[in-house]
């Protein structure tokens, strides 16, 4: 299955960076675009139902619909959770506005495409659980 | 300021921990090399202590093809690249309460680097104190570091060592979560099963989750008196014990190894990096639940 076009484009852009340091710097720039869930959607303390299980960065996900397409919001409570912030931006920018069913086209392993295979088990599973949380929420809408 | 300023913690090896104040005063000290080691691969590039170099636990410390650490040549090359000489004082810090900093320090210990410390409170304390961070990678003058052969005898335990320890009634500290220890889980809470066939713990092990050694508010190590309450009054250790720490793959347990070996000064503490992923799958070894 093909990735949603904006998500595919993000991955293509990152693939341009073959040097690890440059790629990491590009991901840092992505993470800097992270904005937490607006307070009109959710305010802390967030409901546990939105918590991403096993995410050490303490990420929360809200999946809704707006204008006939997906709307995604995230919170990352751990200020050191930069990878979680970067992934949240990639998912939000890549999936918002798409039909909810398109979220199922995102493989969990997108985490490794973004960050490489050199993640710890805990980090990789926490990030993959973010992807799964989005897909699970989108499945309920589709 | 004294070279080390953490004696107030009552640690046996007062040189093992330095404060953020101490690091701030030694940012340009040519005798000191600051090393950041994180779990999150983006953190260092997003900003780090000025002058700090990065040591990545997967790329820099592990052999890519064998489940083992880098060898003498690899360690010599790493140290030369990051500008460390044999007499350089290496100060580690990182994310997750210095979990990965302690892991890096433990690997460096296998090569007997003489002068090493951990910056108390780690990266988040430095950041929360509003101290300077930079994205600029330092230009380091390469050294010609000649490491000795890696010595796995004193700080590292293998499966056979643990079996001998059991026969000799040595002490084991399991630093995983209580659920993993009891065998209710074969992985960290909320994480999928990553392949251990059995749940439980190594017989006779005491369960002291690694993060108990850290003040949850400040991220700093607890003072020695509190640590003794946990490990001696609580888990029944004595300083003369032959102790092996373990977790899942030996990273969390390197934090506890550091606490026992350096902060409480136990002379005989080894980290079993095979840990539960090896023991829980091994044929012919006993477990308890």
Write the pLDDT tens digit of every residue in A59-82.
Answer: 999 999 999 999 999 999 999 999
Whole-number Å distance between alpha carbons of B85 and B76: 10
**Cβ pair A80:B41 closer than 8 A:** no
Contact with chain B for residue A14, Cβ under 8 A = no
Whether domain B156-279 has CATH 3.40.190.10: the reply is no
pLDDT in tens, B54-71: 999 889 999 989 999 999
Cβ–Cβ gap A129/B41 under 8 Å:
no
CATH code for the part of the protein at B7-128: 3.40.250.10
Predicted confidence band of residue A5 (pLDDT cuts 50, 70, 90): very high
For residue A142, name the pLDDT band (cuts at 50, 70, 90).
confident
Q: Count chain A–chain B contacts defined by CB atoms under 8 A.
A: 63
CA distance B241 to chain A (A): 32
pLDDT beyond 60 at A138: yes
Q: Find the closest chain A residue to B195 by CA distance.
A: A121
Looking at residue A72, which CATH number applies to its domain?
Answer: 3.90.1010.10
Per-residue pLDDT at B3 exceeds 90: no
Torsion of CA B137, B142, B147, B150, to 10 degrees: 30
- Range B253-269 average pLDDT: 98
The residue from B17, B173, B222, B247 that is catalytic is B247
Provide the 10 A C-beta neighbour count for residue B235. 18
Average pLDDT over residues A109-118: 91
Domain boundaries, position A49 = 5-141
Dihedral sign (CA B173, B179, B180, B181): positive
For residue A53, list chain B residues with Cβ-Cβ distance below 8 A.
190
Residue A124 forms contact with B (CB below 8 Å): no
Confidence of residue A113 (pLDDT cuts 50, 70, 90): very high
Residues of B engaging A, defined by a Cβ cutoff of 8 Å? 39-43, 45-46, 56-59, 95-96, 123-124, 127, 135, 137, 188-192, 194, 248-249, 251
Token digits for B52?
């700090």
Considering only CB atoms, which chain A residues are within 8 Å of B190?
Answer: 53-54, 129
pLDDT of residue A52: 94
pLDDT at B1: 43
Nearest CA in chain B to A52: B190
Model confidence at B100: pLDDT above 50: yes
Average pLDDT, chain B: 93
Same fold, B7-128 and B156-279: yes
pLDDT in tens, B168-217: 999 999 999 998 899 886 555 545 445 578 899 999 999 999 999 999 99
pLDDT of residue A72: 98
The answer to whether residue B6 scores a pLDDT higher than 80 is no
Q: B244 burial class (0-12, 13-18, 19+ CB within 10 angstroms)?
A: buried
Distance (Å) from the C-alpha of residue A68 to the closest C-alpha of chain B?
Answer: 33
**Residues of chain B contacting A28 with CB distance shorter than 8 Å:** 42, 45-46
| Average pLDDT score over chain A | 94
Mean pLDDT confidence for B75-82: 98
Which residues 16-55 in chain A show a CB within 8 A of chain B?
21, 24-25, 27-28, 31, 53-54
Q: What is the DSSP string of A32-70?
A: TT--PPPTTT--SSPPGGGBPTT-TT-EEEEEEEETTEE
> CB-based contact (8 Å) between A86 and chain B?
yes
Question: Given this model, what pLDDT does residue B147 score?
Answer: 98
Name the phi and psi angles at A64, rounded to 5.
Answer: -140, -175
Report pLDDT digits (tens) over A30-70.
999 999 999 999 999 999 999 999 888 999 999 999 999 99
Where are chain B's structural domains? 7-128, 156-279
Between the two ends of chain B, the Cα-to-Cα distance in Å is 50
Could you tell me what percent of chain B has a pLDDT over 70? 93
CA distances from B244 to B30, B98, B172, B228, B237 (A): 36, 20, 5, 17, 11
According to DSSP, the residues that pair with B48 across neighbouring strands are: B134
Question: B201 forms bridges with which residues in the sheet?
Answer: B288
> What does the alpha-carbon distance between residue A131 and residue A106 come to, in Å, rounded to a whole number?
8
Query: In a 10 Å sphere around its CB, with 0-12 CB exposed, 13-18 middle and 19+ buried, how is residue B193 labelled?
Result: exposed
Tell me which chain B residue has its CA closest to the CA of residue A129: B191
Q: Is B102 a catalytic residue?
A: no
Question: Given phi > 0 = left and psi -120 to 50 = alpha, else beta, which region is B110?
Answer: alpha
Query: Cα–Cα distances in Å, from B193 out to A29, A105, B149, B199?
Result: 33, 24, 36, 10
Q: Evaluate whether B171 touches B237 at the Cβ level (below 8 Å).
A: yes
- For chain A, what is the domain count? 1
């Amino acid at each position: 299955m093909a990735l949603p076009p904006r998500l595919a484009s993000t991955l293509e852009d990152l693939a341009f960076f073959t040097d690890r340091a440059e790629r990491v710097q590009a991901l840092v720039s992505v993470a800097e675009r992270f904005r937490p869930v607006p307070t009109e959607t959710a305010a802390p303390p967030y409901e546990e139902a939105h918590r991403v299980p096993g995410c050490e960065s303490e990420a929360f996900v809200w999946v809704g619909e707006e204008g006939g397409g997906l709307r995604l919001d995230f919170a990352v409570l751990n200020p050191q959770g930069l990878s979680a912030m970067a992934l949240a931006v990639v998912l939000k920018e890549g999936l918002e506005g798409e039909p909810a069913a398109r979220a199922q086209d995102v493989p969990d392993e997108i985490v490794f495409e973004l960050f490489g295979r050199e993640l710890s088990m805990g980090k990789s599973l926490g990030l993959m659980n973010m992807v799964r949380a989005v897909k699970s929420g989108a499945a309920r809408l589709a | 300021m004294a070279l080390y300023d953490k004696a107030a913690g009552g640690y046996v090896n007062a040189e093992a921990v330095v404060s953020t104040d101490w690091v701030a005063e030694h940012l340009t000290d040519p005798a000191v090399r600051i090393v950041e080691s994180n779990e999150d691969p983006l953190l260092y590039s997003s900003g780090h202590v000025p002058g700090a170099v990065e040591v990545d636990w997967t790329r820099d410390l592990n052999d890519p093809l064998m489940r083992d650490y880098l060898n003498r040549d690899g360690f010599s090359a790493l140290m030369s690249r990051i500008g460390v000489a044999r007499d350089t004082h290496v100060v580690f810090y990182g994310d997750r309460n210095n979990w990965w900093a302690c892991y890096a320090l433990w690997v460096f210990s296998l090569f007997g680097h003489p002068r090493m410390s951990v910056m108390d409170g780690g990266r988040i304390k430095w950041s929360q104190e509003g101290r300077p961070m930079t994205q600029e990678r330092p230009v380091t003058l390469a050294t010609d570091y000649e490491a000795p052969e890696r010595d796995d005898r004193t700080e590292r335990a293998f499966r056979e060592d643990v079996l001998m320890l059991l026969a000799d009634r040595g002490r084991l500290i399991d630093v995983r979560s209580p659920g993993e220890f009891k065998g209710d889980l074969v992985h960290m809470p909320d994480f999928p099963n990553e392949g251990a066939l059995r749940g439980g713990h190594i017989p006779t092990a005491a369960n002291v989750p690694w993060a108990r050694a850290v003040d949850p508010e400040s991220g700093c190590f607890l003072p020695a008196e509190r640590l003794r309450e946990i490990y001696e009054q609580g888990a029944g250790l004595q300083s003369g014990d032959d102790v092996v720490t373990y977790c899942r793959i030996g990273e969390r347990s390197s934090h506890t190894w550091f606490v026992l070996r350096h902060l409480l000064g136990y002379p005989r503490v080894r980290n079993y990096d095979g840990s539960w992923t090896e023991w829980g799958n091994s044929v012919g070894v006993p477990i308890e639940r």
